[in-house]
Amino acid sequence: MKKRRSAVYPGSFDPITNGHVDIIRRAGILFDEVIIAVIVKPSKKTFFRTPERISLIKNSLREFDLEKVKVVSFSGLLVNYMKEAGSEIIIRGLRAVSDFDYEFQMALMNRKLSGRVETVFLMTDAKFSYLSSSIVREIAGMGGDISALVPGCVARKMRGQIK
């Protein structure tokens, strides 16, 4: 029987944006299963709590009809979670050259920590290259329109929270 190939897409997702959805959709074409791993850092103040970030991701996937995707949270080292998940592939999106240094360092460090892990980079769609979760939080916080930047459920939740 053919081995199922799963990949882990880790991040803060505070909140998930249309740029993330685009990466998830394309990873779903390449892999049998995509595990979205939401990092829990007790020391970091986030806009949405972990259960809210997870539920927004799940609702967004439903909106976009994305299959083969699982959403989990993790804490500690990513390579330890990879082992637990039984996956050896990390998915990361690259938006611009400015992402490269940080991503390069992370990919090499993860490989040093676990020789089995490989990072696969997907170039974001050009229309999302300027997008980030903090930009979305800033625009929403100042009453701007984020409806073209995030899934509908995220836009509604942020509008409700900021009012």
> Least distance (Å) from ligand COA to the CB of residue 115?
14
Q: Is 128 in the site for ligand COA (CB under 6 A)?
A: yes
CA dist 37 and 26 (Å) reads 16
| Residue placing its CB nearer to ligand COA in the complex, 44 or 163 | 44
Spatial strand order of the sheet with 33-39 comes to 69-74, 33-39, 6-11, 89-94, 118-123
Q: Residues with Cβ < 8 Å from 75, sequence gap 6 or more?
A: 39, 40, 41, 42
Q: Output phi, psi for 93, to 5 deg.
A: -95, 145
Segment near ligand COA (CB under 6 A); pick from 26-34, 62-70, 126-134, 155-163: 126-134
Binding part of the chain for ligand COA, among 18-26, 27-35, 52-60, 62-70 by CB under 6 A, reads 18-26
**Where does this chain bind ligand COA (CB under 6 A)?**
10-12, 14, 17, 19-20, 23, 39, 77-78, 93, 95, 106, 109-110, 124, 128, 131-134
